[in-house]
Amino acid sequence: MSVHVDSAVTERWRPFAQGTGLVLASMALTGLVLLPIGINPIGAYAQILKGAFGSVNALTEDLVYATPIILTSLSVIIAFRCGLWNLGSDGQLYLGAIATVGLGFNRFGMLPPVLLPVMAVAAFAAGAAWAAVPAVLRLRFGASEVIVTIMMNFLAVTIATYLVGGPWASGITPATAPIVSAGFLPILVPGTRLNANFLVAIAAAALLSFVLRRTVFGYQLRTIGQNIDAARYAGMPVNKIRFVSFSCAGGLAGLAGFGEVAGIYHNLPNGLSPGFGYTGIVVALLARLNPLWAVIVAFALAALSVGSGGMQRAMGIPVSLVSILEAVLILLVLATRLLERRA
Amino acid sequence: MTWASLLELTFWIPLLAAGVRVATPLVFASLGEAVSERAGVLNVGLEGMMALGAIVGFLVAYWTGHSWAGLLAAAMAGLAASLVFGFLTIFRGADQIVTGIVMNILLLGLASFLYASIFASAHVVAQLAAIPVFRVPWLSDLPVIGRPFFAQSPIVYAVYLLIPLFWFLLERSPWGLSVRAAGENPEAVDSAGINIWFLRLQAAAIGGAMAGLAGAILAVVQIGAYVDGMIAGRGFIALAIVVFGGWRPWRVAVAALLFGVVDAFQLRLQVSGAAIPSPFLIGLPYILTIIVVAFVAGRAGYPAAINKPYPLRHFSRRQRKPIPADRAAIHPVPQEHS
């Protein structure tokens, strides 16, 4: 009996032990690129920890940075759960941001209480519309959504750059003119940049988790992802569900763009997203496509990014060290086949 | 620029020349990828491997002062990256799309990291000397096609040799036959006693080396500098070109030339200050890629065994003995992943 309990306990903790081992191994491997430039990897990692958790302000910055990453990772998850790749959440984020800024100038003279919700809905709709293009091309014409979503990312950035430099230019900074103050999201902790969109992201994760586990739609979505032929045979509206979930994926990424504009910048700057969409993919894979785990993993990777900013300032190490670290970690997961999703 | 000038050769000849130049890295990347995909290995990490080739090629050319050394080093770097990719997808059964995307994140990050940490202190953009144009005697004097095709950087002439070489390798050689079979019916290759895993690794390695070369051509031969984000989606455009070209070297080359001309066309329109908003011009190659992927070639054309790892349990001395063809047909080897 005791043996049985023991094995159950080890079974429960094994993923954590394996995860820790993989993280340490990837840190060691990534450290190899630091040695040739004459930097002690342990010192660099210590700087990252200090930059990420060293002060209250750093902690809130972690949450600020985690907000868009949570939303883009949910975006990747909802599409992947029905067997589709959404590599386009970066572009969908830009579309959401563009819609937010466009309405945020408040040229239609909307009342303050109406403005914010309208901006959020428009950002969701713009992201969803941007995602609907690859969804239709995939479901109707069999076009690879991997290639199409990446191309849509480049197009979205091109449009944003055009708006920033042309029609909406502020004339001073490489950003558009600011939105009206009625369109600012409330700040949660005074004196920091932590805004209400963080709560939106958490709520979205909880909602997605509930939908996937407890609703008919979620059941059908998961079935399509696991065995599309079985789903067809069972008479599920496969194309309709895949279209809706892919559009929602775009909408979630659009909300991330809404938060960046309404909560932080209050305008649309050039280079709004430092690759939030791609970090979202990393988070989704490491969280094994679980929306609630995605929140935790997103926080960890956000802390890593914030910390690496500190490391760059203190030691002059480029922040791209973080993408190397993240990628090496996933490659190790793939190579060892530990932590694999059991369908 | 007026619309009437579109009818004159003085517009089209420089455009074609620029198109050939822009198409050159695309031809390299897509020829290699065609071989890889024919063997059943879809390399979504092409973009990253091009970026790696660009930075390694640039650094080696910068330090040694020899462009050709840079190109060679870039090919080696691309090859090394594709061996990592191949190990994971062919020998560990990892999903090719997941692995490819993660390879992109890794290699784009690595390229950016190398450049930033090596040139962090330098405030000037490091530049390489341009490789001079080599005019092929007699051929470059031909009317119309002379200037676009035979008054180019020497690397362009390598393309003219590579296209028939790849055609022969893929469509006329015994090795090519096995590669094509590996992508369509791996069980048949296995029962013929050919090591399918090593064969696929070879094809993936050719794809990686060509992608590395493509990136280096861009950085070393054409621009003479490395800039973050300089690949700008060309890896994914090359994936679309392979589909557009139907996985056949000649058609792939023609498809790449089409993309090159379209890109050159939008660049000229931008420079000439046409009254078209710039996003529509800059976005033209991306829009063309979407159209090609959506309407020219659906999923039907892909090699049947793409992204289907061949189970490794046969990879042992004991089972080297080929399965009789009739039995293999009745009891197909179950796939680990679907």
In whole angstroms, what is the distance from residue B71 CA to residue A180 CA?
A: 53
Q: Are B188 and B178 in contact (CB under 8 A)?
A: no
What is the C-alpha end-to-end distance of chain B, expressed in Å?
54
Tell whether A51 is covered by a domain. no
pLDDT in tens, A174-212: 899 899 999 999 999 888 999 999 999 999 999 999 999
Scanning every residue of chain A, which has its alpha carbon at the shortest distance from the alpha carbon of B95? A334
The whole-number pLDDT of residue B11 equals 79
Residues whose CB falls within 8 Å of the CB of residue A187, separated by 6 or more in sequence, listed in order: A193, A194, A195, A196
The whole-number pLDDT of residue B93 equals 87
What is the torsional sign of CA B313, B319, B325, B330? negative
In whole angstroms, what is the distance from residue A42 CA to residue B20 CA?
A: 49
% chain B with pLDDT above 90: 58
Overall domain count for chain A: 1
Q: With a cut of 70, say whether residue B2 has pLDDT above it.
A: no
Distances in Å between the Cα of B180 and the Cα atoms of A239, B34, B193, B199 are: 32, 10, 15, 10
Q: Name which of B46, B110, B117 is nearest A30 in CA terms.
A: B110
pLDDT in tens, B322-334: 555 554 444 444 4
pLDDT in tens, A132-179: 999 999 999 888 899 999 999 999 999 999 999 888 988 778 899 899
Q: Are B51 and B107 in contact (CB under 8 A)?
A: yes
State mean pLDDT over B46-54.
97
Residues whose CB falls within 8 Å of the CB of residue A195, separated by 6 or more in sequence, listed in order: A64, A67, A185, A186, A187, A188, A259, A262, A263, A264
Which residue among B105, B106, B277 places its CB closest to the CB of A162? B277
Of A4-13, A104-113, A244-253, B282-291, the range with the lowest mean pLDDT is A4-13
% chain A with pLDDT above 70: 96
Residue found under tokens 């590579």: B162
- In 3-state terms, what secondary structure has residue B337? coil
State mean pLDDT over A300-312.
93
pLDDT in tens, B218-255: 999 998 899 888 999 999 999 999 999 989 999 999 99
Q: pLDDT category, A301, cuts 50, 70, 90?
A: very high
Residue with more model confidence, A146 or A337: A146
CB contact under 8 A, A158 and B290: no
Tell whether A109 is covered by a domain. yes
Q: pLDDT category, B314, cuts 50, 70, 90?
A: low
CB contact under 8 A, B110 and A328: no
pLDDT in tens, B146-193: 888 888 888 999 999 999 999 999 999 999 999 999 999 999 999 898
Chain B residues in contact with A281 by the CB 8 A cut-off are: 101, 105
Scanning every residue of chain A, which has its alpha carbon at the shortest distance from the alpha carbon of B299? A142
The whole-number pLDDT of residue A157 equals 94
CB contact under 8 A, B289 and A151: yes
CB contact under 8 A, A320 and B92: no
Choose, out of B30, B236, B281, B296, the residue to mutate when testing the contact with A (most A CBs < 10 Å): B236
The domains located in chain B, with CATH, are 3-120+146-315 (1.10.3470)
State mean pLDDT over A19-44.
90
Chain B residues in contact with A328 by the CB 8 A cut-off are: 106
Q: With a cut of 90, say whether residue A113 has pLDDT above it.
A: no
**B96: Cα within 13 Å, side-chain hemisphere:** 22
The whole-number pLDDT of residue B324 equals 52
Q: Return mean pLDDT, chain A.
A: 91
Tell whether A269 is covered by a domain. yes
Q: What is the CATH number of the domain that holds A62?
A: 1.10.3470.10
Choose, out of A319, A324, A339, A340, the residue to mutate when testing the contact with B (most B CBs < 10 Å): A324
Tell whether A118 is covered by a domain. yes
pLDDT in tens, B12-35: 888 999 999 999 999 999 999 999
Tell whether A237 is covered by a domain. yes
State mean pLDDT over B46-51.
97
The whole-number pLDDT of residue A2 equals 45
Choose, out of A39, A137, A144, A155, the residue to mutate when testing the contact with B (most B CBs < 10 Å): A144
Residue found under tokens 């708006």: A163
Tell whether A187 is covered by a domain. yes
The whole-number pLDDT of residue B336 equals 47
The whole-number pLDDT of residue B330 equals 45
Chain B residues in contact with A144 by the CB 8 A cut-off are: 239, 243, 293, 299
Tell whether A191 is covered by a domain. yes
The range of the structural domain enclosing residue A76 comes to: 56-315
pLDDT in tens, A262-281: 999 999 999 899 999 999 99
Phi/psi of residue A264, nearest 5 degrees: -120, -60
Q: Name which of A301, A245, A247 is nearest A274 in CA terms.
A: A301
Letter for the amino acid at A115? L
Tokens for A157, please give them.
Answer: 């950035």
- In 3-state terms, what secondary structure has residue B27? helix
ipTM associated with this complex: 0.92
Letter for the amino acid at A100? T
Q: With a cut of 90, say whether residue A223 has pLDDT above it.
A: yes
Helical pair A197-214 and A291-315, crossing angle rounded to 10 deg: 150
Distance in Å, alpha carbon of A18 to nearest chain B alpha carbon:
18
The whole-number pLDDT of residue B331 equals 45
Distance in Å, alpha carbon of A130 to nearest chain B alpha carbon:
13
Of A58-67, B1-10, B66-75, B145-154, the range with the lowest mean pLDDT is B1-10
Alpha carbon B162 to chain centroid, angstroms: 13
List strand residue ranges (DSSP E) for chain A, in order.
none
DSSP A113-165: HHHHHHHHHHHHHHHHHHHHHHHHHHHHH---HHHHHHHHHHHHHHHHHHHHH
Tell whether A338 is covered by a domain. no
In whole angstroms, what is the distance from residue B154 CA to residue B71 CA?
A: 13
The whole-number pLDDT of residue A340 equals 59
Q: With a cut of 50, say whether residue A343 has pLDDT above it.
A: no
The whole-number pLDDT of residue B338 equals 39
The whole-number pLDDT of residue B23 equals 96
